[in-house]
Structure 1
């Protein structure tokens, strides 16, 4: 009986050991997420190889990988006529060239963000592979920044191009020798460039990569660029030579106007109150041909005419403005006779109308005192206040300090226009026979927050 119990215990011990061992081969769940991107462990030809002219390149990584948008991410420099065929399987990426490669040339393949691991999706950012068909690797570089001239902001969809044909016609006709993307901060960088003279441009990253449309965003370097060991750093200011006209959206109002020939207008009043700093606006649905200002009368609350009220029509002939030095909390009437205006078809208003309104309180506004450090007044700076990408007000700066007793409350973006020709507006650039760079706008990084009934003082570093 004792022997039986000993044998039973031995069997139970072995069974327990067996199941414990089996449990140990199952990896524990959870743990830290893998945040490391794949690593290149081998390449054929090897990275930075010289005196090679491969038809097929194989890159091997330390884990299973996949490709995403490789055709739009991959940049081969110098550019080639036909993009290579890129594929992946397991841990390998293969690149097969369709074109013959140039002799004595350094090639770089920048994969952008197209290579990532299968399990966690960790991306190898801007992975580059380099080789040379000659006996040296070119190591010249060129870097700089790209800024939208009119706004001072960044557009990271643009690319910088280098042409080794320094004729002005190259950007219209030829494929660039090199091109590179810019990042979210507007910074660009070329590496492994061949030395010599180039012309440099900025364009959208479209199929043609040519300046074949004057409404495209565009920038150019005024003089040829010498790539060598002392290459300069540049800033490009991008412009549209001509603005593309926005298509007019078809609305219900547009459809109604085909049958409803009556002339109508809306006004700029805010729930029956008038802004102290702006004119009163009447917005018409059709262009106005004739205005009889004697039949547009601004009166006080007792219907006595008040002066000087200046009435004008904007360039589109659809907005009629009434300018007046408004005082706070004052009641007014605007009497609009039905024959005060006529549209291009000779049609007037269906009836006379009277707008009754009250001006706002001064306590609804704040005062501002802005001090500009390091501002160059010799460049004719104009301060622009922006809301919803629209210029609300432009103020020429004649000193390093701006004081306004009344200013609208709210949050405003600000930028400085350096008004070279002193005409008060931003002027675009031109390329061709007349090479003219655009006027420059500097974006002020911190928005201005104006608090109502408050003295708002801000120091601004430029």
Structure 2
């Protein structure tokens, strides 16, 4: 018995020594895990003064949370309505956020603070989304709401970075010189929602506010305005705003200024991998506007025999930066464009360095399919134009004169469809104009389902026309 005890004691000690010295067969000692990752946002423990306070007279608001927090892009996220003339100071300390009001508060007014996504915990960066705080300097809260949507007039799409503003004056200069009374952001569907409004009349605008001033500075800035002032009440209907922007202007090139180190005429063509679409013009696009163009010094021919082509013309755009070749293409045919070195000269005096040739081939007829679209509820009095879009680029536009659209040749692919309601009947979308004329933009409505066109196939589709007033 005594020897058995000594044997087991020695065996136990040997095992301990093996574990400590890391001998063969020993298990590694693994420290305990840290537990599940924190995925919850901070929780508000208390606010001083409390949320929904009446007769508010304080200058400082303190929010205390259940964990250490930090602020992220607070000035971009924070919205205070009514808009103060002087923005408050906002800072975080450990588990608290402190708001110091710098502006004088209006009497008998409901204030609404929306932190957006500014508050997050330090460790896992969990965002406390749409954290809000409300107080009133009077004995009651304004409780009216106003909702709506902002749509890009040219495409029917949305841009969730726009803001919506309520001004108390309808003067044109207000959007340039004055801060709005109320501001809100769009949600991910392009909708806006004002809360805690008084029963007053407002002028409604939306804009792209990249510089954070909440003012309209440039015609190239996305902008929208309601055609009439809006009276806020329990029965105020939702409002749709149509945002537009003018075309960006290219900066002028000073005389003698060179934009490229190459001392030759620079251009691109409309060819795709050396293939010419039967339905489109061949085009040159020049990096610098042209000073002169001599059509007698550029010749079109076919095949390897360079047989001259008859009955074609060149057309230039108003900027003298694009040349389009107008000709009836033959299918599956090799073409050559022979350009003498001085066929064109840009405004910097650059020409080709030598005679050059562009060779290409047209598509086969079997590369195309026919396309027939039948429209339901199409109102021809609204001057509808059918538009085809690929990768957010407009690739085709057709004025509709009946409830059926037919093209014997159409390039295969997947298309998004939209209807332009062409008020001035010029066949293209026109932006609005705010200052003075207060003209709304033309409206484009998207068709709900995309269209797939197959090659060498009779493609047909039935489309329910989207209403202009939806």
The corresponding residue for 1:228 is: 233
Q: Report deviation, 1:176.
A: 1.1
SS at match of 1:363: helix
Specify whether residues 362 and 83 from structure 1 end up closer, same or farther in structure 2 by C-alpha distance, changes over 3 A only. Answer: same
Output one character per residue of 1:164-214: Cα deviation in whole Å (capped at 9) or x when no partner: 234343223221111111122211110001111111111223333222333
Distance in 2 (alpha carbons) for counterparts of 1:133 and 1:339:
77
SS at match of 2:429: coil
SS at match of 2:150: strand
Match status 1:215 vs 2:232: no
Q: Report deviation, 1:386.
A: 2.8
Distance in 2 (alpha carbons) for counterparts of 1:204 and 1:370:
37
Distance in 2 (alpha carbons) for counterparts of 1:331 and 1:71:
61
Q: Report deviation, 1:271.
A: 4.2
2:283 corresponds to which of 274, 281, 284: 281
Specify whether residues 111 and 422 from structure 1 end up closer, same or farther in structure 2 by C-alpha distance, changes over 3 A only. Answer: same
The corresponding residue for 1:361 is: 364
Q: Report deviation, 1:161.
A: 0.8
The corresponding residue for 1:11 is: none
SS at match of 2:214: coil
Aligned residues of 2:172 and 2:436 also touching (Cα < 8 A): no
Distance in 1 (alpha carbons) for counterparts of 2:285 and 2:397:
22
Q: Report deviation, 1:138.
A: 0.6
Q: Report deviation, 1:107.
A: 0.8
Specify whether residues 276 and 89 from structure 1 end up closer, same or farther in structure 2 by C-alpha distance, changes over 3 A only. Answer: same
Gaps of 5+ in 2: 6-30
The corresponding residue for 1:86 is: 90
Specify whether residues 89 and 264 from structure 1 end up closer, same or farther in structure 2 by C-alpha distance, changes over 3 A only. Answer: closer
The corresponding residue for 2:23 is: none
Distance in 2 (alpha carbons) for counterparts of 1:249 and 1:296:
27
Specify whether residues 438 and 332 from structure 1 end up closer, same or farther in structure 2 by C-alpha distance, changes over 3 A only. Answer: same
The corresponding residue for 2:389 is: 386
2:318 corresponds to which of 308, 315, 320: 315
Distance in 2 (alpha carbons) for counterparts of 1:288 and 1:249:
13
Specify whether residues 167 and 410 from structure 1 end up closer, same or farther in structure 2 by C-alpha distance, changes over 3 A only. Answer: same
2:398 corresponds to which of 395, 400, 411: 395
CA RMSD across the alignment: 3.3
Question: Superposed, which structure 2 residues align to 1:306-455 within 5 Å?
Answer: 306-337=309-340, 340-341=343-344, 343=346, 351-444=354-447, 446-455=449-458
Question: Superposed, which structure 2 residues align to 1:31-42 within 5 Å?
Answer: 33-42=37-46
Match status 1:152 vs 2:156: yes
Distance in 1 (alpha carbons) for counterparts of 2:386 and 2:350:
42
Output one character per residue of 1:387-434: Cα deviation in whole Å (capped at 9) or x when no partner: 454322211122333232322233334332110010111111112321
Aligned residues of 2:300 and 2:338 also touching (Cα < 8 A): yes
Output one character per residue of 1:23-75: Cα deviation in whole Å (capped at 9) or x when no partner: xxxx9746654443333332222211212222222223344433222222111
Question: Superposed, which structure 2 residues align to 1:165-180 within 5 Å?
Answer: 165-180=169-184
Aligned residues of 2:335 and 2:360 also touching (Cα < 8 A): yes
2:200 corresponds to which of 176, 196, 200: 196
SS at match of 1:71: helix
Distance in 2 (alpha carbons) for counterparts of 1:58 and 1:346:
68
Distance in 2 (alpha carbons) for counterparts of 1:296 and 1:415:
39
Output one character per residue of 1:309-336: Cα deviation in whole Å (capped at 9) or x when no partner: 2322222323322222223222334444
